[in-house]
Chains A and B, each alone.
Chain A
Amino acid sequence: MVEANGTLIKMEGVKKVFLTDEVETHALEEIHLEIKKGEYISIAGPSGCGKSTLLSILGLLDSPTDGNYWLNSQPVAKLTISERTRIRNREIGFIFQAFNLIGDLTVYENVELPLTYRGTSAAERKQKVQQSLERVGMAHRLRHYPSQLSGGQQQRVAVARALVGDPLILMADEPTGNLDSKNGEAVMELLRDLHRNGATICMVTHDQRYANFADRTIHLFDGRIVEETQEAQVGA
């Protein structure tokens, strides 16, 4: 249930510290963040500033060392692994820089995967996969394997997989990082279309051109939010 003021994600004082060989690395410090439903935000910053770590925590792939995190009004900072897995499956859609399609599954099977884990019936799965692939213009490649597709096409399939479970929010980690500029543009257009149709998107990018597609950009430096800018008018 989204809060009355429309807040989908809320973070307060989130920290992340990595311990490696007795060395502490402070990846995130005192992150305060709110994302409203239907918002398209980008997280920008130089390499090593903590963008991906923040996205991992936002996407429940990792948990914060300290601080509070509410997703859809539910505190999620201290959930068990299986609870986090369930929420990831039902409420979050991921798009990765490296696409992360499973090479031994067909396009159809890759997109079907989140629904399989959810226990959706075969008939419903078929219908939703079809719809999702049609939304990204890949319905004609159902039986292909990822290796038979171009990078842009693979990322479209990854977007279809992220959309297929009707998540509350799409988390995109450098979605254009492995694409040439033409395919990168196309994927960004696709995300903008989704946003226009109501999707909430949170995207990590180091490329200012693509950051400008978002309504709002959060700038990270050395694990802290140093600036927030409204970019809606630029990308619109």
Chain B
Amino acid sequence: MGTIRQDIRYGVRMLWKYRLATLVSILAFAVGIGVNTAMFSVAEAFLLHPAPFENANRIVALVDSRPQQNIDMNGIAPATYFDWQKEVRSFDRLGAYAWDEISLTGDGPPLKVQAFQVSANLFEMLGVQPQLGRTFVSEEEQPGKDQEIILGHSLWEQRYASDENILGKNIKVDGKNYTVVGVMAKGFDFPLPAEAWIPLAIDAKNRERRDSRWLWVLGRLKQGVSFSEASAEMKAIAQREADAYPDTNKGWELRPMPLAQFMTGDITREYTLLLMGAVAFVLLIACADVANVQFARIAGRTNEFAVRAALGGSRWRLVRQLLTESTILAACGAALGLLIAQWNIEMILSHMPADVAKFIAGWKTIRLDSNAFLFTLAVVVVSGVLSGMAPSLLASRANLADSLKESGRGSTASRARGRLRGALVVAEISLALVLLVGAGLLVKNFQGLLNVNESYSPRTLLTMNLTLPDTQYAQPAPRLAFFEQVLQRLSAVPGIQAAAIATNVPYSGGGGVSTDTFSIEGRPPSQRGELRNAIIQTTSANYFEVMNIALRQGRMLSDSDGSDAPRVAVISESLARRYFPGENPLGKHIAVGKRYAVSGPHDSDLEHPWMTIVGVVNDVRYGWINKEYIPTIYRSFRQAPRYYTTILLRTSGNPSQLISSAREQIAAVDPELPLYNIKPMDRVITESIIGIAYVAAMMAVLGGIALVLASVGVFGVMSYSVSERIHEIGVRMSLGAQTTDIVRMVLRSGMLLTIVGLAIGLPIAFVLARALSSVLFGVEAADPFSFIGLPLLLAGVAALASYLPARRAARVDPLVALRYE
């Protein structure tokens, strides 16, 4: 212990002696360790504990997937859920929930609330208790006995002023009376972003359905049963069901996953891992920088190490002395790095809109906690060893007899140092290039995402959602009347150029748009289990004009396509291409939903009436997640008025200024109706792609840091190389070398290292880009800017970093240099 103290004391003394080198090393470590600690805190929140429940480790999410259609996570059909309840052996509980949105009225202004229908056992499964009252009981899962509600803590605080006596009170939910039976504890919002919970009561008809997958099912593992055992059992059951019900289940694959993974989601997980890799690259580059500085420092200490060895210092002791110094550097860097990490985390947290953050599992838990400190400590040790190992091993291998002589310059060791330093710079350039290319691809892609939406001028478009309650609007006629009145009133407001409605606008709901099954007359699915899905848009006729969607064939929807007129539809080009290749789709008949009888009178005629295709329009991108256009069917709201809709207002100026006018006009038609998600379209888009914006911004920053660190590496190596070759430069100049010859000589060495680094880095970057584009959504592998522009930028910066020492070399006075030896 005493000798370690000695090592530390001496290490500090040596670092103080070489203050500039120490400062550069500490700054490199601070940046490298700081970004790693910050990213660890984010990854910890997303990947390690996104589900802060007592039983989270035993909960398994049972989701369906359909790899052929790139559907990674889908709900389960009710009939399947009830089958499982009878069959499964691995779980002691199976619970389920479904998304719901409810309108609260009567206790203040109407309010749209994100609610979930949950099975009675869900809270108990998770191991959570309400703060007030109780959770649901199994009798409340029966339709008709399900008018109870549990309030989330924020909702209870904000709407009901934390009323301690709220239990047993009736509140109006979608126009019906619900009894408040519980209030959940602060912070509990599962499934994200729940504000209230009502019982999951499925009627007899829906319990039999296998073609509608809207239930999200969770299972709690029995004690002693592993995740893999349960997965195997569930996959076997799913396979049996696919065999028994091929029409509805074939092509679907059950995908059991731990609750934490389910909550985080594949995309968040993949991008988090990508960023973890990127910050690890930055740390490696920082370590290479510090190692280079260490090499330069030990070159001046050759004699010291030889003396230590001569006096009996073992190789390990010499290595330990140098590792102590690099670890002290890493520790100082980490101290500064923690401040950088804290600042970094604050930046990350403060720039995320609350409307988006509430959907991200673990977001509320991002902070520098004790795990982050432990991680930083581990990084300090790893960085200290990584940056100090090569220099210390080389220093401890020096030739003793030579080094102890006064004039012994250890030329062999010097050459070895030179080679290693060169190799480190090559590695730095390679790593920096890979990072830069990754950053370039993501930034380019992000720009592309923004540009693609410019066609419909999102800055002058206001969007808002409403859902008509089925108490007053159970029939199509009142729904149609409501929309007609609202559109008429809004169109008359000064400043509003046009008012339109549609089911979904692009990029709403985080970019994840839902699709529905549709049928084509006379064309049953070619194979059992084939999925025909499309986005079903119920729009006003002017929607295409408001969104600048161009007509390709036939006609648009028109105001004359009323409820009594023949039912018509407009389809997107992608639907026409995929389902009517080589034929004219106009005049063909399609229906929303699955028609089991393709001809003749049937219930389906009422439920899923045929529509004649009258037009084909351009495709629209609905989110950044899907690379390909999603087939879309447009039908007239007059022929199928919906409960849920989006109102779009094209304005002449700032759309936000028209929010209150729009509210007034809609309230004049129905004062009880809450409006929500009231946002200009450009905000809808930016919030939808904010995740990729974060990743792109962070990658850009990391790429910039890598560029700076790599150039510092090149500068350091070339500076040191020049100072080692001063005598040689003097000789060359005395023999007639011009300053340009010297500059060229130094530049050539620097650029040689850079070119080797680029030559190694480019193929790696290309392979990684290919891998990224196949694994991550939104990344294109081939991009000239990333693969030509960025390597040139890196080469330019490296050339500048080599030029500065080259210029110094060219100013050497040969007389002074010749005495330098």
Contacts and interface: CB of A to CB of B under 8 A. Distances in A.
Given A98-B406, A104-B13, A122-B2, A62 B400 contact: yes
A94 B2 contact: no
A161 to B, nearest CB: 7
Nearest first, the 4 closest Cβ-Cβ pairs linking A and B are A89-B312, A98-B406, A56-B401, A117-B312
Given A81-B315, A114-B312, A100 B401 contact: no
Interface string B312-332: 111101000000000000000
Contacts of B314: 82, 85-86, 117
* B-side interface mostly: helix
Given A62-B400, A100-B404, A94 B312 contact: no
B394 interface: no
B405 A52 contact: yes
Contacts of B3: 116, 119
Contact of A161 (B304, B309, B311): B311
Contacts of A178: 406
Given A52-B405, A61-B400, A96-B404, A90 B312 contact: yes
A102 B10 CA distance: 11
Contacts of B404: 61, 96, 98, 100, 173
A85 B13 CA distance: 26
A173 to B, nearest CB: 8
Given A62-B400, A100-B303, A102-B304, A114 B311 contact: yes
Contacts of B401: 52-53, 56, 61-62
Contacts of A102: 304, 307-308
A122 B404 CA distance: 28
A61 B311 CA distance: 10
A97 B313 contact: no
B320 to A, nearest CB: 11
A90 B304 CA distance: 19
Interface string B383-404: 0000000000000000011001
A113 interface: yes
Contact of B311 (A53, A56, A94, A104): A94
A234 to B, nearest CB: 29
Contacts of B793: none
A175 B312 CA distance: 20
A139 interface: no
Given A52-B401, A62-B400, A89 B311 contact: yes
Contacts of B2: 122
Interface string A125-151: 000000000000000000000000000
A200 B558 CA distance: 114
B406 A97 contact: yes
Nearest to B307: A100
Nearest to A81: B315
A118 interface: yes
A215 B13 CA distance: 44
B310 interface: yes
B12 to A, nearest CB: 11
A192 interface: no
A195 interface: no
B529 to A, nearest CB: 71
Contacts of A86: 312, 314
Nearest to B311: A114
Given A88-B310, A97-B406, 11 more contacts: A85-B309, A85-B314, A89-B312, A100-B306, A100-B310, A102-B308, A104-B13, A104-B14, A122-B2, A161-B311, A165-B312
Contacts of B13: 104
A104 B310 contact: no
Contact of B312 (A88, A101, A122): A88
30 contacts: A52-B405, A56-B400, A56-B401, A59-B310, A61-B310, A62-B400, A81-B315, A82-B314, A85-B312, A85-B315, A89-B311, A89-B312, A89-B313, A90-B312, A96-B404, A100-B310, A102-B307, A102-B308, A105-B10, A109-B10, A116-B3, A116-B6, A117-B308, A117-B311, A117-B312, A117-B313, A119-B3, A161-B311, A165-B312, A173-B404
Interface in A65-92: 81-82, 85-86, 88-90
Contact of B17 (A53, A59, A104, A118): A104
Interface string B280-317: 00000000000000000000000110111111111101
A105 B307 CA distance: 12
A31 B404 CA distance: 23
Contacts of A118: 312
Contacts of A101: 307
A196 B6 CA distance: 36
A109 B404 CA distance: 19
Contacts of B317: 117
Given A100-B404, A105-B10, A88 B315 contact: no
Contacts of B405: 52, 98
A161 B311 CA distance: 9
Nearest to B406: A98
Q: Which of A53, A62, A104 has the most CB of B within 10 A?
A: A104
B693 to A, nearest CB: 51
Contacts of A103: 304
A94 B310 contact: yes
Contacts of A52: 401, 405
Contacts of A100: 303, 306-307, 310, 404
Contact of B315 (A62, A82, A94): A82
A160 to B, nearest CB: 12
Nearest to A93: B311
Contacts of A90: 312
Nearest to A161: B311
A59 B311 CA distance: 10
A116 B401 CA distance: 22
A90 B404 CA distance: 19
A147 B249 CA distance: 86
A113 B406 contact: no
Interface in A189-221: none
Query: Which of B14, B303, B310 has the most chain A CB within a 10 Å cutoff?
Result: B310
Contacts of B400: 56, 61-62
Interface string B521-557: 0000000000000000000000000000000000000
A124 to B, nearest CB: 12
| Interface core residue of A101, A103, A117 (most chain B CB under 10 Å) | A117
Contacts of A85: 309, 312-315
Contacts of A122: 2
Nearest to A122: B2
Contacts of B306: 100
Interface string B625-637: 0000000000000
B184 to A, nearest CB: 62
